[in-house]
Amino acid sequence: MFNKRKKINALLQSDEANYEATVMGWVRTFRNNQFIALNDGSTNNNLQVVAELGLLDDATLRRITTGACIKANGHIVPSLGKGQKVELKATSIEILGDSDAEKFPLQPKKHSLEFLRENAHIRFRTNTFGAIFRVRHSLAFAIHKFFNERGFVYVHTPIITGSDAEGAGEMFRVTTLPLDGSAEKNEDGSINYKEDFFGKSTNLTVSGQLEGELAAMAFSDIYTFGPTFRAENSNTTRHLAEFWMIEPEVAFNDLEDNMNLAEDFIKYIIRYAMEHNADDLAFLSLRLEEEEKAKPQAERSEMGLLEKLNFVVNNEFERLTYTEAIRILKDSNHNKKKKFQYLIEDWGADLQSEHERYLVEKHFKKPVILTDYPKDIKSFYMRMNEDGKTVAAMDILAPGIGEIVGGSQREERLDKLLARMKEMHVPAEELDFYLDTRRFGSCPHAGFGLGFERLVLFVTGMTNIRDVIPFPRYPKSAAF
Ligand code: ATP
Ligand code: MN
């Protein structure tokens, strides 16, 4: 067997020494023709591989360059160097893959995040992105663990959807019809989608919620975790055209149960990452500290990354209604001094991210759950409150990010749901399958959508969403 190797993470975690081991990985640096810093991605920490003078011929030494892949055999011995308990004293080194030092995009120096985004195919091999994507993995794993421990069924909702009434955003069309104008037309000049692959117009999903609700009406507790797509021209640091969403849907939950679930869930997965990715988060915390030093004092965050994560898992989220939030915003000095781009004047206004961030970062200084929004700024499926003006919606707002979760108790009463759909011009014919849940054994239920990348942003302390998904898709960019 070729791959009889020890992972660097396992080697470094143990104090054990004086045994034989084989390691494989990529060279980060090579000093004094002797000391190789080797990384295999299992940890942010490098293993020091020592090639004693005379072990290798000149030709081999020249091939140990940053980026090259090597296999090293030798003895694990206690290290005299700082910062590591053990190192590998090599008895043989084999070059598995050369890397031309002149051409390899990563040099042993600091690169800008922009440069690394352009070289996303290779950025996995940096400390920063190694840490980010190991944390991303842990969060994804913890999500499944959390729901599995609570008896939720993981449901795969379709990526290609036939309903264009999901209502969560602009959709990407899926078609095999020719784009050169030769596609068959109807009498009124519109495209005849009967000729298209699925015999109808189809899109990439913007949310799995509607299908998730169908499953919740059988399993009680379900969640989805999959890619979603939005063709919005949002060039922000918080929007992607392709992102992953987690959408639990729970029968017999009301809005308060929904908030409790969301809060427990977020705390659980953050705790999991803190326990399992301590080194990565410590590294990212230092990275953030460095980045913040470049900012003016007033713009720096009050807490470091680890401090912030600890604070979030150990404190309750602030819960208040939209109406209370509007009062706070309207009375704020920020509003009075016209510091908001969009001034808050009347009840009913949609909150912009500047308002959300004011509430979270300036006023409460902790995550906030806003509930009971005006019905006109929310989706048709949210449950109408007694007042006839607001719906049982909840958004969770996180420091530095803004909206991270959007959810609601769903309207389970058929007549009320139909009335809302009519008011909002949602075509009932197209959603007949959805309405069936209200016709046959309807029940109170609630759910939410959490944008996975926004959560990864929050946990890693990164500031641009394009840096927390391996190959980001956004307007005018689908590289790799
Ligand atoms: P926003 O107002 O920030 O655009 P939204 O109201 O469109 O969000 P929802 O439709 O409620 O968001 O989607 C649920 C969750 O999915 C959001 O809370 C957010 O975490 C995430 N999300 C929404 N749009 C995007 C996007 N374009 N890129 C990444 N995550 C997103
Ligand atoms: Mn949006």
Cα–Cα distance measured from residue 301 to residue 292, given in angstroms and rounded to the nearest whole number: 8
Q: Which of these ranges, 89-103, 127-141, 293-307, 373-387, has the smallest mean pLDDT?
A: 293-307
458 CA distance to ligand 2 middle (Å)? 18
pLDDT at 205 over 80: yes
Phi-psi region of 114 (alpha: psi -120 to 50; beta: other; left: phi over 0): alpha
As given in the structure block, the two tokens for residue 426 are 């949602």
pLDDT band at 2 (very low <50, low <70, confident <90, very high): confident
């993470």: which residue's tokens? Answer: 9
Q: For residue range 415-441, list pLDDT tens digits in order.
A: 999 999 999 999 898 899 999 999 999
Long-range contacts of 194-200 (CB under 8 A, 24+ apart): 198/160, 198/162, 198/174, 200/162
Residue 166: pLDDT band by 50, 70, 90 thresholds?
Answer: low
What would the pLDDT profile of 273-289 be if each residue is shown by its tens digit?
Answer: 999 999 999 999 999 99
CA 442 / ligand 1 centre spacing (Å): 27
The confidence score (pLDDT) of residue 84 equals: 84
Name the 3-class secondary structure at 3: coil
Look at residue 400 and tell me whether its pLDDT is greater than 90: no
State the pLDDT confidence band at 373, using cuts at 50, 70 and 90: very high
Name the helix (H) or strand (E) containing 76.
strand 69-78
| Ligand 1 atom at minimal distance to the Cα of residue 448 | 14
Instruction: For ligand 1, atom 12, name the residue with the nearest CA.
Output: 406
Which atom in ligand 1 lies closest to the alpha carbon of residue 241?
Answer: 27
Give per-residue pLDDT as tens, 227-251. 999 998 889 999 999 999 999 999 9
Alpha-carbon distance 438 to 415, whole Å? 9
Given a cut of 70, whether residue 1 has pLDDT beyond it is no
State the Cα angle at 70 between 64 and 75, rounded to 5°. 105
Substitution candidate for ligand 1 out of 170, 236, 239, 467 with most atoms within 8 A of CB = 239
Report the nearest atom of ligand 1 relative to the CA of 407.
11
Q: Is 373 in the pocket of ligand 1 (CB under 6 A)?
A: no
Ligand 1 atom 23: residue of nearest CA: 451
Contact between 360 and 367 under an 8 Å Cβ cutoff? The reply is yes
Among 61-70, 88-97, 146-155, 333-342, the range scoring the smallest mean pLDDT is 333-342
Ligand 1 within 6 A of CB of 457: no
- pLDDT reading at 271 higher than 90: yes
What confidence tens digit (pLDDT) does each residue in 71-113 have?
999 999 998 877 789 999 999 999 999 999 999 999 878 899 9
Measured from the CB, is residue 404 less than 6 Å from ligand 1?
yes
In sequence order, the 6+-apart residues with CB closer than 8 A to the CB of 287 are 128, 461
Residue ID of nearest Cα to ligand 1 atom 8: 403
The answer to whether 383 and 394 are in contact (CB under 8 A) is: no
Burial class (CB in 10 A: 0-12, 13-18, 19+), 269: buried
Tell me the CA–centroid distance for residue 451 and ligand 1, in Å. 6
Q: Name all domains of the chain by residue range, CATH numbers in brackets.
A: 8-104 (2.40.50.140), 125-158+209-467 (3.30.930.10)
Atom 29, ligand 1: which residue's CA is nearest? 239
DSSP string, 386-407: TTSSEEEEEEEEETTTEEEEEE
What is the model's pLDDT at position 299? 81
> How large a percentage of the chain has pLDDT more than 70?
99
Protein residue with its CA nearest to atom 6 in ligand 1: 406
The ligand minimizing its distance to the Cα of 406 is 1
List the structure tokens of 3. 């791959």
Q: Is 406 in the pocket of ligand 1 (CB under 6 A)?
A: yes
Is 15 a residue whose pLDDT tops 80? yes
Query: Which distant-in-sequence residues (6+ apart) come within 8 Å of 46 by Cβ?
Result: 8, 28, 37, 38, 39
Provide the pLDDT for residue 80.
83
Average pLDDT score, the chain? 94
